[in-house]
Amino acid sequence: DAGVTQSPTHLIKTRGQQVTLRCSPKSGHDTVSWYQQALGQGPQFIFQYYEEEERQRGNFPDRFSGHQFPNYSSELNVNALLLGDSALYLCASSLMRGVLRGAEAFFGQGTRLTVV
């Protein structure tokens, strides 16, 4: 049983460019959340997707957008990249019924994005 998988593992982009990160949730999971983890910081919640809709969003600008597909996989898009967007981007998957009762989420290995 594959866990949460993310691609690519590493990425280098130039300021102003756009990037798309991908996440496949753990088998059977229907909810995907995205987090940004800057160096030396804990992960910060970006948004959560369920039933192909954004259900909740953290304090991130509109440059950060996402999508969830019918097979529950998800994409995170970041436009007009800034140097400050350099971070580890983590995807977490869970079951919505577990989310609602406060159950744990399972994380992927993350995508290390470097903006130069």
Partner 1 sequence: EDKVVQSPLSLVVHEGDTVTLNCSYEVTNFRSLLWYKQEKKAPTFLFMLTSSGIEKKSGRLSSILDKKELFSILNITATQTGDSAIYLCAVITYGGATNKLIFGTGTLLAVQP
At its nearest, how many Å lie between partner 1 and the CB of residue 72?
A: 15
Residues 102, 113, 114, 116: which binds partner 1 (CB under 8 A)?
102
Q: Which stretch binds partner 1 (CB under 8 A): 13-21, 54-62, 70-78, 79-87?
A: 54-62
Residues 58, 60, 67, 86: which binds partner 1 (CB under 8 A)?
58
Environment class of 62 (CB within 10 Å of its CB; exposed 0-12, middle 13-18, buried 19+): exposed
Interaction of residue 99 with partner 1, rule CB under 8 A: yes
Rounded (to 5) percent helix, strand, coil in the chain = 5, 50, 45
Residues 21, 26, 43, 115: which binds partner 1 (CB under 8 A)?
43
Nearest to 77 by CA among 25, 34, 30: 34
Quote the CA–CA distance of 62 and 41 in Å, as a whole number.
22
Interaction of residue 107 with partner 1, rule CB under 8 A: yes
- Residue 114: CB atoms within 10 A of its CB come to 12
Q: Give residues in contact with partner 1 (CB under 8 A).
A: 4, 31, 33, 35, 40-45, 48, 50, 55-56, 58, 88, 90, 92, 96, 99-110, 112
